[in-house]
Amino acid sequence: MRDVTLTNIFDHHIAKKYVTRSGLAHAVAVAYHAVKLAKIENVDVDLAAKAGFLHDIGHYTWYNQNGKWDYELYRKNDIHAIKGAERAHKLLIRLGENPIRAKQVSLAILFHTDSFLPGGEVDRTALQSIVKRADEKDEEPGGAHHYRTITADKARQSLQKLDSIIDRHLTQQLQQRQAE
């Protein structure tokens, strides 16, 4: 029923490379949080899951000369939300996602953090707000959430499970609408 599933995304080498770089366990956890919130707030669960899973796909590494993560460099130079929005969009379109939906996911990734904005708040849609809060739910002090590990097999299984949760929810919604 969906054009692209989370498992399809995971199986693509671009997702494997970049989502793994910023923390696969974190990406899977945020996708789960996003689906939970989307169910409660009656927001599109498929879009929430995709934006949740891909939200950090634009991360770049900022290391100092000693090979240590440099938060100062990151804070000054980071554009991971911008890069991620573009990267996720390209990936989804390649996989055959509907362009309107690919754009919604891309915008939710763009606005999942304020870190690249020079002051000022963003007026977020329900979907964009969910992705931001889902990310915050999984955050650990010192960015430790980016280093939590999970095997590729376990991640794929978790995403397959989330795919069936999403499909079940969408089928239920459709049946409810037809009954009305």
Interacting residue ranges for Fe ion, rule: CB under 5 A = 56, 135
Nearer to Fe ion, 116 or 169 (CB): 116
Beta strands in 43-130 (DSSP E): none
**Alpha carbons 152 and 149: distance in angstroms, whole number:** 9
> Residue 124 or residue 169: which is nearer to Fe ion going by CB?
124
**Shortest spacing between CB 26 and Fe ion, in angstroms:** 6
Question: What is the nearest approach in angstroms of Fe ion to the Cβ of residue 27?
Answer: 8
Mapped onto helix, strand or coil, the DSSP state of residue 61 is coil
Q: From CA 43, how far away is CA 161, in angstroms rounded?
A: 19
The structure tokens 């000369």 sit at: 65
| Smallest separation (angstroms) from Fe ion to the CB of 99 | 25
CB of 98 to Fe ion, least distance (A): 25
Question: From CA 90, how far away is CA 107, in angstroms rounded?
Answer: 13
**Sequence-ordered list of residues with C-beta below 8 angstroms from that of 82, at least 6 positions apart, any chain:** 58, 110, 116
Closer of 26 and 89 to Fe ion (Cβ): 26
Q: Rounded to 10 degrees, what is the CA torsion of 2, 3, 6, 9?
A: 180
* Number of neighbouring beta carbons within 10 Å of residue 168: 11
CB of 109 to Fe ion, least distance (A): 10
Residue closer to Fe ion by CB (options 56, 163) is 56
Return the number of the residue (56 or 97) whose C-beta is nearest Fe ion: 56
In the bound state, the residue with its beta carbon closest to Fe ion is: 135
